[in-house]
Structure 1
């Protein structure tokens, strides 16, 4: 593979694109093969639910507006997801004692372990991949994936 310049080892843009085009189908395929725990299989969990569950699992209970900010979606979208998952018994909603107008969302105790085991598989793989990197390199990886997702989403709209 060629380099970006005479003194910096690396990939050209085209070499990087070819490498990612080979790698991404394998990454997506591996992610899809992460086994859903038996106690969660009967629920209609979509990819959008995974991010919500991950925030609640790793960051703890949160309000709808805070979750919307983290997920970069409208609060109404989060409210719909929370309502759906609450009806299924996966999430619990409770009144915030400090502000009764605010609802705090958490994972139901009966499903916490299964959700942890499911998401831990992916989190462990990301930890192994990210730990050797510097904070700047980690940010670059995350920003690159986000830029790719934005562009693919935009291309579908056209």
Structure 2
């Protein structure tokens, strides 16, 4: 008799915890970013750092108490590609961004991919945006920025 009561109590407790916790669902949708990659005719020879492209993939949505998805609060995984001049051996290249939390911050450091035939280096940054994001690229050692001619990039 005690074990039946204990099982019912545990089942009720688990149900209560599960229903009161926020629910996150993974999604496999791929978002199309609102950024323009460098055109084939565009030269970047006079620019020390240049944003090249970004790949986004929505990995989760935040739900409210009624289990409605709020797409502005989606979590997007990104891979950004940056072109830089080789101005120093040790490079710190980051995305300086603001997303749904309203605070400007820096991404993790970029990692080297390859050197192109024109001498530019291709670097990549992997990370996550919480909702819509605005960003620029910073190559710290060269004190160089790419902020899309003063209007920043938006995804």
- Which has the bigger relative contact order, CA under 8 A and spacing at least 6? 2
Give the TM-score band, short-chain normalised. under 0.3
Output the TM-score relative to the length of structure 1: 0.25
Higher helix share: 1
Larger of the two Rg values belongs to structure: 2
Higher strand share: 2
